[in-house]
Amino acid sequence: MQAKAPEQQRRGGHLRQRLLSMASDLPSMQKLQLQLAAAPAAASLLPALAVAALILLLATARRCSPAGSSFLDAYRSGVAIVSTPPSSTPPPRAGAGAAAAAAARVPPGCDIFKAGEWVPDEDSPYYTNLTCPLIQEHQNCMKYGRPDTGFLKWRWRPAGCELPRFDAAAFLDAVRDTSMAFVGDSLARNHMQSLMCLLTKVAYPKDISKTANPEFRTMHYESHNFTVAIFWSPFLVRGYQPDRRRHMWAIHLDEPDPAWAASGGAAIASFDRVVISAGNWFTRPAVFYESGRVVGCHYCLLPGVPDLTHRHSLRMAFRAALRVLVTAPGFGGTVILRTLSPTSHFEGGEWDKGGDCRRTRPLAAAEARARMVAGLDGDFHAAQVEEFARAKAAAAEATGGRVKLVLMDTTAAMEMRPDGHPSRYGHWAHENVTLYNDCVHWCLPGPIDAWNEMLLQMLLPGYASS
């Protein structure tokens, strides 16, 4: 036995080196965990199966960081949906709506969106970046060294009432045997990933996507037969760059994006609920088309082409998208329009001129209202609310209530949270990447988890839609 000791030590040393080598690209905390596990392995040579299990457990946190060359383009792709162990199927319930019916609700007459404030909450957050493996790298602020955690310790309180905390079991019961699609830009994906992280308290989804394109993912919760999907569509209508070198977009304002609206909306008609949102991409220089002809532009500087501004393009794009959803053959579900996430949280310069968002706590309500009403956010918000009202009236007349429209007016609450963005904490500080400070997307966990607290209330029977 003594003669074998040097051989065991040699083999244990090789094992330790292999483990530490595999840890080279893991976050520092995971490296420490692996080093602590590797040292005993070298001494006692743990059974191979146990070591393999340890490696697989730690490897679940690995993600791929996408490359990018410009601000919003850089955050466009690279979704890293990590394989997660399927949750155990919960025992049968006494009726699909039992838990949902028992969920805490806001009182009648409570407007969960407007005239509220963010109040301290020591029970937040619901999850961490270590407990949820479904966070995109660019929104994984704690992994990449954000030094403050105070921004996580707030909750949204509507005026005169309380917004109940998110109940993952109640949410899954409310959506049992249904499907939900998020249509929009990377903030729609941000919203969906927040929802999936919140649901990890109860279940993990299975990736059933029919494409390898990370912009179009479909996830299924087998325990509740709930499907959730993301459709990448930054303008909601057809938009493209004829010449990428010119950074000019061509936006066909009367042609809904075939990525989700192909064949008159057939691609989306199978979903029970559609959450539609957009905003930030409309600030780009663009030429506008209707019926295939140029009708105007935003900052195109073309002779004879009127500047209709990005306010016009956003309004017309929402009008076209909502029209398709209302008239899509076979669609009889609910359309939820989520109003824009603020575009104005850059301070100290524009997004490409050193602007950043380094605040560590919410704004006061009065300051937030002044910022929104006076700027582009207020104009975009007004256009969205007006087009929603137009589409809701059209749906009532055309479908007799078969298609329902609900407004998810999150803008006022989010205007107060300039502290919730990744800023520079969307990648390692030493990485040589071409990314700007991100004051558009939201850290996960973070303020937009409140969107899903709101969404749960909207799904419960008896919710009074706008």
Catalytic residues, by residue number, are 186, 438, 441
Quick one: 90 exposed, middle or buried, by C-beta within 10 A (0-12, 13-18, 19+)?
Answer: middle
Q: Which residues pair with 276 in a beta bridge?
A: 183, 337
CA distances from 290 to 253, 296, 310, 317 (A): 6, 9, 15, 11
Which residues contact residue 155 at a Cβ distance below 8 angstroms, ignoring those fewer than 6 apart?
118, 119, 121, 124, 163, 165, 450
Chain Cα centroid distance, residue 224: 22
Question: Any idea which residue has 């995971």 for tokens?
Answer: 30
Q: Does residue 288 sit in helix, strand or coil?
A: strand
Q: Which amino acid is at 461?
A: P
Q: What does the alpha-carbon distance between residue 451 and residue 8 come to, in Å, rounded to a whole number? A: 55
Question: Any idea which residue has 């306010």 for tokens?
Answer: 311
The H or E element that residue 168 is part of is helix 168-174
Contact 185, 281 (CB under 8 A): yes
Contact 395, 404 (CB under 8 A): yes
The H or E element that residue 71 is part of is helix 71-74
Question: Any idea which residue has 């709101």 for tokens?
Answer: 454
Q: What does the alpha-carbon distance between residue 139 and residue 186 come to, in Å, rounded to a whole number? A: 11
Report the first-to-last Cα separation within the chain, whole angstroms.
79
Contact 26, 58 (CB under 8 A): yes
Within 163-234, strands assigned E span: 179-184, 206-207, 216-221, 226-232
Contact 294, 305 (CB under 8 A): yes
Contact 173, 93 (CB under 8 A): yes
DSSP label of 438: B
